[in-house]
Amino acid sequence: MEGQSRTKVVLLACGSFNPVTNMHLRMFELARDHLEDTGQYRVVKGIISPVGDGYKKKGLIEACHRLEMARLATENSDWIIVDSWESLQPEWVETNKVVRHHYDELAAEQNDDDVDTVKYSKKRRINKQVYCFEGSSHQKRRGCPQLMLLCGADVLESFGQPNLWKQEDINEIVSFYGLVCVTRSGSDPHKFIQQSDTLWKYRRNIHIVHEWVTNEISATHVRRALRRSQSVRYLLPDTVVHHQAEEVMGWGCELKTNQTHFKN
Amino acid sequence: MATRRVPLVLLACGSFNPITNQHMRLFELARDHMNGTGQYQVVGGIVSPVSDSYGKQGLVLAKHRIAMAKLALQSSSWITVDEWESQQPDWTETVVTLRHYYGRILKEHERSTGMHNNSSGRAALLASPSPQLKLLCGADFLSTFKVPDLWRDDHVEELVRRFGLVCISRGRLQPEQAVHESDTLSHHRHNIFLVREWVRNEISATEVRRALRRGLSVKYLIPDSVIEYIHQHNLYTEDSERRNEGNVLRPLTKQAQEPV
């Protein structure tokens, strides 16, 4: 594998983003630094995919607002974008289906870019083994970026919760795609991987990123602060604070009482 | 008798090397808390970067630290950056800085109440409570009182009696403990406001500088405008971190000298 140029990577983060916070955005930055630091990867895009309203989580405000806030938050980013596909689906979509959808999209984009398909497909057949990473059966079209799911350690640990994930979905994510897991304080993802045969088998496809700044800006806390008319400045990008968070979160939050407009 | 809220200004002294989102959060948290007591109305915030003569390791030039703070606070409607402390020839004791700003605030207050009141000063006082200035800090600041020779006893006394502290707890530090363990602080505990920060947000400037040295991202930890400034001027390198290496902090040498 020596001499191979870096693998292009796209990071996909699924979640409520209710609302998006600086912590979410930090996750992308940390993941990119980590992957590029290995010398093997070049992160070319980050995708925020807010969950659809069909998820029906308590306190989840409408997707249109969550999308808009995420867009405002990524206005000043040159590599992170927001994708609305998942949020537009009528029913909740399993994570691996979302990943699959984005993978297909990336592959389709790549097809449009491919010029010399005949020549390269021949080369691909001969060199198929070269594209396989150790322990991974990742099938890669020439030049197609590798799509990895970006998440916090809590998602990794949710793999262990009974009935939450289908085993074959977990397998697909860690074997075919890849996982980048940013640790929050108080969790030990390495131990968790150790204790799972599946995760252990594909450990090289699971990248654990240690957060050197403890940064626990939870969206739950942000919503709570907004309900109590407390400041959330500097927890979210200014663009979000100014335009959306107060009005939107104030109206659509957990307590459906008659509330006056929140002043910050 | 209707109680009018006391106008309150919050002053944060520090290296601001560089200013971070966490610094600015301190102001926001403090304002919410003090307004929430019902007794105060926070009317302003001042960031006062320390002068270069502080002598702390890794401290970059005041002009840069001021410029970055100004960029960071451009969009704030109530927090400003003041260069007075950084322009003094020598490091200035915190209490001296407080006295300076308080003097300014009082003058300003007298000027504005004077405009509305032709009567005597006493009437003016009744109409509008005199403003107060309190020092805004993190919980780690309280434990500096224990460092030998760093603080003069009479200064600590003046700080908590005459001005007051608004102290934001950080991480696992227990500021109540520090207050409890000091007779002076304990005696003036009514003038020490402890604000609990529920979001653990440990963006330290030290970590930010470390990340910058290593070419790692600090986006979303400090404002974009500050990041740009840092890159433009190539601040925070291995060289800059070695500045003042081996020096003794100025406060430790100055305290032995003339009283203020």
- Whole-number percent of chain A with pLDDT over 70: 76
pLDDT band of residue B185 (cuts 50, 70, 90) is very high
Sheet holding A80-82, edge to edge: A80-82, A41-50, A7-15, A146-152, A179-183, A206-210
CA dihedral B37, B40, B46, B50 (to 10 degrees): -60
Task: Give the pLDDT score at A238.
Answer: 85
Q: Is the pLDDT of residue A248 over 80?
A: no
Tokens of B13: 């002294």
Task: Give the pLDDT score at A4.
Answer: 62
Task: Give the pLDDT score at B213.
Answer: 87
Measure CB to CB from residue A213 to each of B31, B203, B219 and give the nearest one. B203
Q: Is the pLDDT of residue A110 over 90?
A: no
N residues, chain B: 260
Nearest to B176 by CA among B38, B167, B95: B167
pLDDT (average), residues A90-113: 90
Higher pLDDT, B103 or A119: B103
Sign of dihedral through CA atoms A243, A244, A247, A250?
A: negative
pLDDT (average), residues B30-59: 95
Tens digits of residue pLDDT in A201-235: 999 999 999 886 666 777 887 888 888 777 888 88
Question: Highest-confidence range of A137-146, A204-213, B88-97, by mean pLDDT?
Answer: B88-97
Q: Is the pLDDT of residue B72 over 90?
A: yes
Nearest to A244 by CA among A75, A83, A84: A75
Contact between B34 and B40 under an 8 Å Cβ cutoff? The reply is yes
Round to whole Å and give the CA distance between B259 and A259: 56
Across chain A, mean pLDDT equals: 79
Residue A62 to residues A13, A16, A51, A69, A249, Cα–Cα distance (Å):
18, 10, 10, 11, 10
Q: Is the pLDDT of residue B84 over 70?
A: yes
Q: Is the pLDDT of residue A34 over 80?
A: yes
Which residue of chain A is at minimal alpha-carbon distance from B36? A230
Task: Give the pLDDT score at A151.
Answer: 94
Return the amino acid letter for B30.
A
Return the amino acid letter for A174.
V
Task: Give the pLDDT score at A117.
Answer: 46
Which residue of chain B is at minimal alpha-carbon distance from A220? B199
Q: Which of A10-19, B81-90, B237-246 has the lowest mean pLDDT?
A: B237-246
Measure CB to CB from residue A221 to each of B75, B199, B211 and give the nearest one. B199
Which residues in chain B are closer than 8 Å to A76, comparing Cβ atoms?
A: 224
pLDDT (average), residues A31-40: 93
Round to whole Å and give the CA distance between A90 and B166: 49
Name the maximum alpha-carbon separation found in chain B: 63
Contact between A148 and A34 under an 8 Å Cβ cutoff? The reply is no
Check CB contact under 8 Å for B75 and A238. yes
How far is the alpha carbon of B223 from chain A, nearest alpha carbon, in Å? 9
Which residue of chain B is at minimal alpha-carbon distance from A26? B220
pLDDT band of residue B171 (cuts 50, 70, 90) is low
Tokens of A19: 């609302």
pLDDT band of residue B127 (cuts 50, 70, 90) is low
Nearest to B223 by CA among A184, A19, A264, A236: A236
Task: Give the pLDDT score at A227.
Answer: 80
pLDDT band of residue B172 (cuts 50, 70, 90) is low
Domain boundaries, chain B: 6-257
Check CB contact under 8 Å for B171 and A238. no
How far is the alpha carbon of A264 from chain B, nearest alpha carbon, in Å? 9
Round to whole Å and give the CA distance between A263 and A19: 18
Task: Give the pLDDT score at B122.
Answer: 56
Q: Is the pLDDT of residue A236 over 90?
A: no
Q: Which domains are delineated in chain A?
A: 7-111+142-216 (3.40.50.620)
Tens digits of residue pLDDT in B195-213: 988 777 678 888 888 888 8
Candidates 3.40.50.300, 3.40.50.620, 3.30.70.1530, 3.90.470.10; correct CATH number of B6-257? Answer: 3.40.50.620
Tens digits of residue pLDDT in A151-193: 988 888 888 887 788 889 999 999 999 999 998 666 788 888 8
Tokens of B159: 């700080």
pLDDT band of residue B237 (cuts 50, 70, 90) is confident
Nearest to B225 by CA among A237, A243, A28: A237
Task: Give the pLDDT score at A255.
Answer: 35
Tens digits of residue pLDDT in B16-37: 999 999 999 999 999 999 999 9
Contact between A208 and A181 under an 8 Å Cβ cutoff? The reply is yes
Measure CB to CB from residue A214 to each of B28, B200, B220 and give the nearest one. B200
With b for 16 or more beta-carbon neighbours within 10 A and e for fewer, the A230-264 pattern comes to bbbbbbbbbbbbeebbbebbbebbeeeeeeeebeb
Round to whole Å and give the CA distance between A153 and A121: 38
Which residues have a Cβ under 8 Å from the Cβ of A64 and sit 6 or more positions away? none
Q: Which residues from A are below 8 Å from B when comparing CB atoms?
A: 22, 25-26, 29-30, 32-33, 76-77, 185, 212-218, 221, 230-231, 233-235, 237-238
What number is the ipTM of this complex? 0.72
Nearest to B229 by CA among B69, B80, B52: B69
Sheet holding B192-195, edge to edge: B79-81, B40-49, B6-14, B132-138, B165-168, B192-195
- B138 bridge partner residues: B168
Round to whole Å and give the CA distance between A111 and A109: 5
**H or E segment and range at residue B154:** helix B153-158
Q: Which residue has the tokens 């980590």?
A: A34
Which residue of chain B is at minimal alpha-carbon distance from A73? B220
